[in-house]
Amino acid sequence: MVTTAAYKLLSSVFSTSISLFSKINITHRNCEKSFNVDIYDNEYHYFRIVWTTGTEMLKTRKVAGRGDAISSHYAFGQLEDDTIIKHRLLTRTTTTRGEPPLKKLQKKFTSFALEIEKDADNSNDCERLAKAFLQELTTFELPLLKSKAVIDANLREKENFNELKAEINRQIIQAEDDIEDLKKQLEESKVERQHKEECETIRKLIAMQPPRSETQRFLTDLEKEIALLEAENISGSRTLELRKKQFALLLHVVDELQNTIEEEPRSLMEEMRNAMEDHKNGVEDASCGPDAMAVD
């Protein structure tokens, strides 16, 4: 059957180009009426070529890989920028002018597929178109290899940046620790400087004072003066005690004298009274004497 032969020829053609991509699947479906050619590279599903025999209907469509979504229009909005860039990278379209590489590859495959559908003996043309398709596929592979090299370089650079980031983070942590240590040293230096300033102030005050020998001589003189004053104090205390005793004795004598002075008038009065009484008694005795003598 022509379709079976076409399937075998397609399988042989794509099997020779398996080195270009990591995976190429050819699926025969719809009762041998069409084929699906799925091309993969590094787990990305690039595009699918659907070839329907008999009706000469051939179309391709790009299939997103690993969560990539392709919008149906190319509006250059902010949300569609990433999608457009991914689409251009996957289809290898670098400019809006000219024919995209994927479309060229599609045309080569279309020419080859239409040629093998013919019933005529055209093996030479099929071989020529197959070689042209493989050449175009090889040309399409070169940017992929370049992109793969760029990706590998970016991955290595990313690893280097990660190592550099880890080293910078380590240096940052070390710098923070050093800053903390320096802060502690600064506080200690401030305290030490304050102590030095206080010592300098005390030193200046000490320098303003007289020499030790002079101070010692002055202290010796003061001690001698203090000893002399203490001796004078003791002598004065003794003199004061003596004066206190003498004054007490004087007061006692004065008191005695005052008592004596107060008692003298009374004594004189008593003596005078006694004298008068004696005189009176004498007179009486004198008057009584002749009578007594007469009686006798």
pLDDT at 87: 67
* Residue 10, number of CB atoms within 10 A of its CB: 21
Q: Residue 256 corresponds to which amino acid?
A: E
pLDDT at 167: 96
pTM for the full predicted model:
0.37
What are the beta bridge partners of residue 59? 50
Could you tell me the two tokens for 233? 């104090």
* Residue 264, number of CB atoms within 10 A of its CB: 10
Question: CA–CA separation, 21 vs 39, rounded Å?
Answer: 7
pLDDT by 10s per residue, the chain, length 296: 334 544 555 555 455 444 444 445 555 444 444 555 555 544 444 445 544 444 434 444 444 444 444 444 444 565 677 777 776 666 666 555 566 777 777 888 888 888 777 777 777 888 888 888 888 888 878 878 888 899 999 999 999 999 999 999 999 999 999 999 999 999 999 999 999 999 999 999 988 888 888 889 999 999 999 999 999 999 999 999 998 998 889 888 888 888 888 777 777 777 787 878 877 777 777 666 555 444 44
pLDDT at 222: 92
Show Cβ contacts of residue 11 under 8 Å, excluding neighbours closer than 6 positions: 26
Residue written as token pair 């999608």 = 83
Distances (CA, A) of 263 to 254, 267, 269, 278: 14, 6, 10, 22
Do 82 and 63 meet the contact criterion of CB atoms below 8 Å apart? no
- The domains of the chain are located at 2-157
Question: CA–CA separation, 272 vs 266, rounded Å?
Answer: 10
Question: CA–CA separation, 110 vs 60, rounded Å?
Answer: 10
Question: CA–CA separation, 74 vs 80, rounded Å?
Answer: 7
Question: CA–CA separation, 72 vs 88, rounded Å?
Answer: 14
Strand 34-41's sheet: what is its strand order? 23-29, 34-41, 44-52, 57-62
Question: CA–CA separation, 9 vs 114, rounded Å?
Answer: 12
